[in-house]
Amino acid sequence: MSVHAVHPADAAIPHTVEPHPVTGIPNPKFGIWLFLASEVMLFGALFSSYVLIRTQAPHWPPEGGLSSEILNVPLATLNTAVLITSSITMVLAWASCKMGRIDRFRLWMGCTIGLAFVFLIIKYFEYTDKFHHGHFPAFNNFYAVYFTLTGLHGLHVIGGIIVNTFLLTIGTRLWKTDPEQFTNRVENAGLYWHFVDLVWIFLFPSLYLL
């Protein structure tokens, strides 16, 4: 058994850092995958609702025209690139930890958080533009679906920012005492972040393009 300093709450819980011999993963990684399974069900339910509402509607968007005419496709394409890039920088942050380079970790994690903010800022402009024209969620079901789906996704982006910022700042203390556990935490945060990216990759075409 390797040397791991333990937080009193984690004291003597096996496989908090060492992988389990049968599953091959430590507890937190298993946990995050389960969490992602529940998130798939959450966004899956919302997507299914979108499908139902859209197929029942006489035409879509209800006011006429095309989704790509109502929503800003160039901005959203940029946002897609932003998120994909942030997933790449997230992996680089984790790889830096694996290579023992905490300085590189800080750089790449900082980029990830920065890109996440860029995403949110672009979304802010998209939203306020809609509101300026009186297009609030209540306007019709197109906007209701758009705001609810992207809004919930946006909340998940904010959640990711909070976790990543914690890892970048206060959480880095763990690097000094248990670099392996810290690296695992970055990896798990990365899994979550890739999921958030993946949801957007589904949202973008289904809301903006189709």
Partner 1 sequence: MSASTTHGHAAAAHAHDAGHGHHELPFWRKYIFSVDHKVIGVQYAVSALVFLFFGFCLMMLLRWQLAYPGQPLPVIGKLLSESTMPGGVMAPEFYNQLGAMHGTIMVFMGIVPLAVGGFGNYVVPLQIGAPDMAFPRLNMASYWAFLPGGILMLLGFVAPGGAAQSGWTSYPPLSDIATTGQTIWLLAMVLLITSSLLGSINFIVTIVQLRAKGLTFFRMPFFVHAQFVTSFLLLLAFPPLEAASVMQLMDRLAGTSFFLPSGLVISGEQLHVAGGGSPLLWQHLFWFLAHPEVYVLILPAMGIIAEVIANNTRKPLWGYRLLVYSAIFLGFMSFVVWAHHMFMTGMGTTMSTFFQTTTMIISIPSVVILTCFIMSLYGGAIRFTVPMLFATAFLPMFAIGGLTGLPLGLTASDIYLHDTFYVIGHFHYVVAPGTIFALFAGIYYWYPKVTGKQMNQTLGKIHFWVSFICINGIFMPMFWQGMAGLSRRLYDPTIYAHGRAVQSLNVLISWSAWGLAIAQLPFIWNFFSSLRRPKAAENPWQATTLEWAAPSPPPHGNFVTPPVVYRDPYEYSVPGKAKDFSPQFAAGEA
- Interface with partner 1 by CB under 8 A: which residues? 1-16, 20, 23, 27-28, 30-31, 34-35, 37-39, 41-46, 49, 52-53, 56-57, 62, 136-141, 144, 147-148, 152, 177-178
Q: Which is nearer to partner 1, 19 or 114 (CB)?
A: 19
Q: Which is nearer to partner 1, 34 or 210 (CB)?
A: 34
141 touches 57 (CB < 8 A): yes
Q: Which is nearer to partner 1, 42 or 121 (CB)?
A: 42
Q: Which is nearer to partner 1, 58 or 74 (CB)?
A: 58
Which sign does the torsion angle of CA 114, 117, 122, 125 carry? negative
Helices within 99-139 (DSSP H only) = 102-132
Separation in Å, CA 123 to CA 52, 153, 157, 203 = 25, 11, 11, 13
Nearest approach, Cβ of 72 to partner 1 (angstroms)? 21
Among 31, 205, 200, smallest CA distance to 116 is for 200
Question: How far, in Å, CA of 43 to CA of 172, rounded?
Answer: 31
Q: Which is nearer to partner 1, 66 or 81 (CB)?
A: 66
Nearest approach, Cβ of 4 to partner 1 (angstroms)? 5
CB-based contacts of 117: which residues, under 8 Å, 6+ apart?
Answer: 161
196 touches 153 (CB < 8 A): yes
Nearest approach, Cβ of 196 to partner 1 (angstroms)? 15
